C-alpha cells in the first residue's frame, strides 16, 4: 500500500513539474513577444513635429518664428523641411515658402525664423506643416549642433533696436564651414520675435564672434534665447 501511495506522490510531482515547465515556456514566449513589440515601437519612424510657432503681419510681410522637434529616440532626420503658408479669408494661398534645414538629431529641437511676402494682402491664417519621407531617416548621420556653444552674450539697447553680440565655439573635431545663429525673444514665455544671422569658417576648437539684431519695430519682450546650428 505504501508503495502505491509513494508511486502516486512521485507521479503527481512529475505532473506538477511538467505543468510548471509548460507555464514557464508560455511566460518566456509572452515576454519575447512583448520585447519584440517594444523594439518595433521604438524602431518606428516618427514624423518631424512643429511644437511651437508665432507670427505677426507688418502690412507687407508675415514674420514668423517656429520650433521643430525630432520625436525619434534613434533616428536622425536629414534635411528636416517645413512649409509656411499664408491664406486669405476664402482659403486661397497668398504666399508660401518651403524651408530645408540641415540635420536634426534624435529628440533634438531646432528654432528658425522667416518671412512671407503677402504683397499687401492681409492673411487670415498662417499654417506650418512639416515634410519628411523614409529617405531622410538615418541611424548613422550625426547632428553637430551639440558641439556648437554660445558664450559671452551681451544685450545692447538703443533707440531703434536691440543688438546681441557674443561668441560661438566649435567643440567638434573637424572644421565647420557655416553656422546659423538664431535669436528668439519671448514675452510671458511665448515667442514674440526672432531673427537670423550666419557666421562662416569656424575651425575645430576655435571661436568666432557674432552679432544679431532684434527687429526694428517696437516689441515687448522679457527674455531672449540664442541658438547655434550647423549650416555647412
Question: What pLDDT digit, counting tens, does each position of 116-138 carry?
Answer: 999 989 999 999 999 877 778 99
Q: In this predicted structure, what is the pLDDT of residue 33? A: 60
The reported pTM is 0.79
24 pLDDT more than 60: no
Give pLDDT tens digits for 57-81. 999 999 999 999 999 999 999 999 9
Query: What nine digits make up the cell of 100?
Result: 530645408
Q: Which helix (H) or strand (E) holds 77?
A: strand 76-78
- % of the chain surpassing 70 pLDDT: 81
User: What is the pLDDT of the chain when averaged over all its residues?
Assistant: 85
CB 55 within 8 A of CB 64: yes
pLDDT at 204 over 60: yes
- Residue ranges of alpha helices (H) inside the chain are 2-43
Residue 4 has what pLDDT? Answer: 37
- The CB density around residue 90, as the number of other CB atoms within 10 Å, is 6
CA angle 81–85–87, rounded 5-degree value: 165
Q: Which three cell numbers stand for residue 198?
A: 550666419
Q: How confident is the model at residue 5 (pLDDT cuts 50, 70, 90)?
A: very low
Cell of 227: 541658438
Give dist(CA 193, CA 191) in Å, integer.
Answer: 6
CB 130 within 8 A of CB 151: no
19 has a pLDDT exceeding 50: no
pLDDT score at 20: 45
Residue that wins the pLDDT comparison between 157 and 11: 157
Strand partners, 117: 61
Amino acid at each position: 500500500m505504501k508503495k502505491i501511495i509513494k508511486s502516486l506522490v512521485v507521479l503527481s510531482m512529475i505532473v506538477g513539474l511538467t505543468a510548471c515547465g509548460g507555464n514557464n515556456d508560455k511566460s518566456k514566449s509572452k515576454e519575447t513577444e512583448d520585447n519584440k513589440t517594444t523594439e518595433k515601437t521604438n524602431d518606428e519612424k516618427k514624423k518631424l513635429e512643429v511644437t511651437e510657432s508665432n507670427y505677426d503681419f507688418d502690412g507687407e510681410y508675415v514674420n514668423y518664428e517656429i520650433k521643430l522637434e525630432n520625436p525619434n529616440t534613434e533616428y536622425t532626420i536629414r534635411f528636416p523641411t517645413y512649409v509656411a503658408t499664408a491664406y486669405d479669408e476664402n482659403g486661397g494661398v497668398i504666399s508660401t515658402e518651403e524651408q530645408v534645414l540641415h540635420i536634426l538629431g534624435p529628440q533634438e529641437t531646432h528654432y528658425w525664423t522667416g518671412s512671407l511676402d503677402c504683397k499687401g494682402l492681409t492673411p487670415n491664417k498662417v499654417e506650418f506643416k512639416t515634410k519628411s519621407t523614409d529617405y531622410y531617416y538615418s541611424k548613422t548621420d550625426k547632428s553637430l549642433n551639440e558641439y556648437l556653444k554660445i558664450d559671452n552674450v551681451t544685450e545692447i539697447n538703443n533707440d531703434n533696436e536691440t543688438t546681441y553680440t557674443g561668441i560661438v565655439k566649435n567643440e567638434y573635431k573637424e572644421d565647420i564651414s557655416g553656422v546659423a545663429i538664431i535669436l528668439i525673444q519671448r514675452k510671458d514665455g511665448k515667442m514674440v520675435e526672432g531673427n537670423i544671422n550666419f557666421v562662416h569658417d569656424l575651425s575645430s576648437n576655435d571661436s568666432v564672434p557674432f552679432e544679431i539684431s532684434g527687429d526694428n519695430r517696437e516689441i515687448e519682450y522679457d527674455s531672449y534665447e540664442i541658438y547655434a546650428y550647423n549650416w555647412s
